[in-house]
Amino acid sequence: MDINTQQKLAENLKLLRNAFGYTQAEVAEELHICRSTYTLYELGRKLPSMDLLVDLAALYNTRLDVLLDSKTNLYVQKVFSQERSRRDVAHLVEAYFQLPPHAQGKLMERANVLLEKEGFLALG
């Protein structure tokens, strides 16, 4: 692995760890390695084994190439955008079920108007 790829891996490991809210100790524990060893990976001073790279990709629920990619920040943005969308949908469903039946109907009517306005098919 060339030095640029090694440095990009180090940056991506730190970016992903911070984005997922893990400490170095938590990642190291999950990987069954010493925290100091993991720190060397994030500093770009040591390369993880292929098995460890596979475990890191699994930890961050991504493909191995994302760990080496120069566009990992786009992956992180996508993950958090999806998570935000899931929370929004959950809140919307929760609000829907708190409404009385007639208000649920009005909400569905309004949703259909908005969908049609945006060029989407209306809900059934």
The pLDDT tens digits of the residues spanning 26-69 come to: 999 999 999 999 999 999 999 999 999 999 999 988 888 888 88
80: left (phi over 0), alpha (psi -120 to 50) or beta: alpha
- In this structure, what token pair is assigned to residue 124? 């059934």
pLDDT of residue 66: 83
- pLDDT digits over 87-120, tens only? 778 888 999 999 999 999 999 999 889 888 888 8
pLDDT higher than threshold 90 for residue 22: yes
In angstroms, the CA 71 to CA 62 distance is: 13
Does the pTM surpass 0.85? The reply is no
**CATH number among 1.10.260.40, 3.40.50.1220, 1.10.287.110, 3.20.20.210, domain 3-69:** 1.10.260.40
pLDDT(124) > 70: no
49 DSSP 8-state letter: P
